[in-house]
Structure 1
Amino acid sequence: MNKAKIIELPLTAYEEVHDLQKRLVSMRLSGELDGDVVILVEHPPVYTLGKRGGRENIVVSEGFLKEQGISVVQTERGGNITWHGPGQLVAYPIVHLDEARMGVADFVGALEQVMIETLDALGVSARSDAVNRGVWVGDAKIGSVGIRVNHGVSFHGLALNVAPDLTFFSWINPCGLAVSMTTAEQELGRKVSMTAARCEMKRAFGTLFFEGLVETTLNELNGFPSALCGAGT
């Protein structure tokens, strides 16, 4: 598999990045974009619903959420309700699964492995679970996966709890489960740098999915970006 391009965004509204993903999927399908792209980002606090729904798993009132300034967004990804917010590292891989000769189950497993390897590099031992998808530390969930595939091209992706405020998860049943959530910081008992987490996740993607990653911006997608983080060089 060739090198993929990676776009790193600052804290950006979920809806804005959702629209970006859909544009990139269209570009990938039309051939305007000739390779895969990974978006790394953090979002302001937001709850997102999957194809299985999830509004019934909100355990606080709609009025309370409005007071907190948190929106609830319906999406087309698989799964149930989840939360995104600062301190959570989110990756959206726009990958042509047909070209990569990768099935959906293998793709989801690889996304879980990206989180496991990222956590391992940070000092946290985690595992996947064939029944309840995502990444776990003991019985606590630390990473989630939810994707959609459009004519063979993936979007949506993974969310890894590096250092978020877990209070937001107490207002829902995450992924429709009565489950406790954890973070890398909580497991290690110390501060964890989001910059370090981003770099380790980029390395994991470069190793597991691609022959390295190259940094780009939205304006450079058809240009010649520089090598990122030493991956594949």
Structure 2
Amino acid sequence: MTILCSKTQHLLNPCLVKQWSRVPYGVAWQWQRELVDNHLQCFHYPDRLLLLEHPPVYTLGTGSDEAFLRFDPTEDTNLLYRTERGGEVTYHCPDQLVGYPILNLQRHQRDLHWYLRQLEEVIIQLLAVYGLRGDRLEGLTGVWVEGRKVAAIGIKVKRWITMHGFALNVCPDLTGFTKIVPCGIGDRPVGSLAQFLPEITTAQVRQDLPDIFAEVFQLEMIEL
């Protein structure tokens, strides 16, 4: 990716938004690492938000316990990645909208708890647009609707540059979650927006989410 670095700040807080359709996990992971490197080389490199979907894949956080897998990773053909993000195992699949914000928190707040709560707030405000109440649960990260976890969050921050992010279950096939204990939480079910809003589409959420993200993080979004 070409580095666009300029000290000319004609926008107060620009954030470049890139929408992709379905991207293999390994490819998107490499994109994130390249963007983080660009940030580290240039303080004025703009914030970015990548919105995409993945083919079916399981990912583990840096300290994830493989006991939360309900399959043998050495024998099963499921794709499995161990990443540098926080959190336990999760599942990605089509019609789950994944957001990877690559932000310089030195231009926001150098506070990881604040950043996690901001990501939750984006989802909560988005759900409110659709007439749904998104809840936080004390001691846990993510967003729930009527006791079902609809959004998972796992991040990595390197010298205040963020990567990884959130996964919102819009209208996916949830059966892949049966092969894991999602996020290591065995007593609370995973859900999707479609369980409450049968007509919801990923295309609609893709359209609405950037404006909410802009409002929560006080950014001006620029579509790429």
- Report the TM-score when normalising by structure 2: 0.90
1:48 equivalent among 49, 59, 69: 59
Q: For 1:10-36, what per-residue CA distance to the aligned partner results, in whole angstroms no more than 9, with x for missing partners?
A: 100011000000000000111186210
Unpaired segments of 5 or more residues in structure 2? 1-11
Task: Give the superposition deviation at 1:138.
Answer: 2.4
1:87 corresponds to 2:103: no
8 Å Cα contact 2:52/2:98 also seen in 1: yes
Structure 1 segment 44-83 matched on structure 2, within 5 A: 44-62=55-73, 65-66=76-77, 70-83=78-91
Structure with a larger share of its residues in helix: 1
| 3-state SS of 2:196 partner | helix
Deviation at 1:9, TM superposition (A): 0.8
Structure 1 gap segments, 5+ residues each: 217-233
166, 175, 197: which is aligned to 1:167? 175
| Residue of structure 1 aligned with 2:113, choices 85, 105, 109 | 105
In the TM superposition, 1:1-233 aligns within 5 A as: 2-31=13-42, 34-62=45-73, 65-66=76-77, 70-178=78-186, 179-188=188-197, 190-216=198-224
Mean alpha-carbon deviation: is it higher for 16-25 or for 91-100?
91-100
Count of residue pairs the alignment pairs up: 212
Which whole-Å CA distance do the structure 2 matches of 1:34 and 1:150 have between them? Answer: 15
Task: Tell me, yes or no, if the aligned pair for 2:123 and 2:151 is still in contact at 8 Å.
Answer: yes
State the percentage of identical aligned residues. Answer: 32
- In 2, the alpha carbon distance for the partners of 1:206 and 1:75 equals 27
- Root-mean-square deviation over aligned CA pairs: 1.6
Tell me if structure 1 keeps the 8 A contact 2:99–2:165.
yes
Runs of 4+ in structure 1 over 6 Å off: none
Q: Is 1:4–1:210's contact at 8 Å kept on the other side of the alignment?
A: no
| Structure-1 separation of matches of 2:44 and 2:180 | 38
Q: TM-score, normalised by structure 1?
A: 0.86
Distance 1:140 1:64, change over 3 A: farther
Contact 2:47 2:101 survives alignment (8 Å) = yes
